[in-house]
Amino acid sequence: MAVLNQIAFRLSRHRRSVSRARALVTSLLGAWGINQDVIDPAELVLSELVTNALQARAPGDRQVGICITHSEEDGLLRLEVSDAGEGQPEVRSPSEDDVGGRGLLRGRADPTAGVSRHARPASGRRCGPS
């Protein structure tokens, strides 16, 4: 039977939540014994996902949900971020003048990151294996 490490938590809809998410994922993945070459891109991707969630139109009292799952059997790392906003995320190509938006592109280009986009309907969001 596969060993599955998993944690779910919520952060407030405030920009300081981005740095909190980065610190939590770094600490957690380190505690799970995951290599730094996986932790670094995971930190960057989670930072971008939380930033995107904070930019989604949603009531101010709603929190950002985060779920981090790691399968020891196949090494798969899943980072899930949910918000109360409508619509689905879109990967965009930032221009030279844009100050952000490169983390997801880097994650998609980094073969060690294993980034994939998996969206579930808002009514069916949950933390765990699909």
> Is the CB of residue 18 less than 8 Å from the CB of residue 51?
yes
The count of other CB atoms within 10 Å of the CB of residue 10 is 12
- Tens digits of residue pLDDT in 48-94: 889 888 887 777 678 899 999 999 888 899 999 988 777 666 666 77
What pLDDT band is residue 130 in, cutting at 50, 70 and 90?
very low
Task: Identify any residues that bridge with 117 across adjacent strands, giving them in sequence order.
Answer: none
Across the range 117-124, mean pLDDT stands at 42
What pLDDT band is residue 12 in, cutting at 50, 70 and 90?
confident
pTM: 0.72
Q: How many CA atoms lie within 13 A of 129 on its CB side?
A: 8
pLDDT at 125 over 90: no
Task: Identify any residues that bridge with 60 across adjacent strands, giving them in sequence order.
Answer: none
The count of other CB atoms within 10 Å of the CB of residue 79 is 22
